[in-house]
Amino acid sequence: MKTKSLLLLSLIFLISCKNETPKIEISKDEIIKQNIGNKLKGMLKNPDSYEFVSMDLAQSFTVKERKENITKANLEEMRELNKTIPSPDLLDRMETEYSYLKNQTDDNKIALYRYNFVAKGTNSFGGIIQSKYSTDVLNDKNYTVLNISKND
C-alpha cells in the first residue's frame, strides 16, 4: 500500500512539473530605453557605437493637456504647411499622437512622457562623445518614441 501511495505521489509530482521557461517581464523603462536606442541609432553616423548612459522622467502630460495642443485643426494646418515646407518627421509625430488621443476617453490618463537622457557614441573623428537629449514618448502599448532632440 505504501509503495502504491509513493508511486502515485511520484507520478502526480512528475506530471505537475512542467519544463516551461519563466516569462521575463520587461519594465516600462526598459522598453522605452530600447525604443529610444532604436530611434537614436537611425540618427547617428556610427550607430554601432551607441551606448545608453542614463534617463530621467522630466514631465508627464495628461490626455486632456495634449488634446488642447493636438487638435484636428492643428493637424490640418500642419498638413498644409508640410506641402510648402516639407517636415515629414513633425507631421508624422502629430498624426501619430492625434490618432492615439482621439481614441482616449479618460482625460486624466497620462498620454505623453517627456524624458531627458544621456547617450555616448563615436563622432566622425573616432572620438567618444557624450550627449544630452530629450524625447517625447507616447503612453501607448508600445511606448512609441515620437521625437528625439539634442540638448547640447
Give residue-wise pLDDT tens across range 6-65: 555 555 555 655 555 556 778 999 999 999 999 999 888 888 899 999 999 999 999 999
pLDDT in tens, 76-127: 999 999 999 999 999 999 999 999 999 999 999 999 999 999 999 888 888 8
Contact present, 77 and 71 (Cβ < 8 Å)? no
CA dist., res. 86 & res. 136, Å (int): 21
Model pTM score: 0.78
Task: Supply the pLDDT for residue 92.
Answer: 95
- DSSP-H helix ranges across the chain: 2-16, 28-41, 63-69, 72-84, 88-102
* Strands ordered across the beta sheet of 51-62: 51-62, 110-122, 128-138, 145-150
What is the SS3 assignment for 19? Answer: coil
Amino acid at 117: F
Contact present, 119 and 54 (Cβ < 8 Å)? no
- DSSP-H helix ranges across 85-139: 88-102
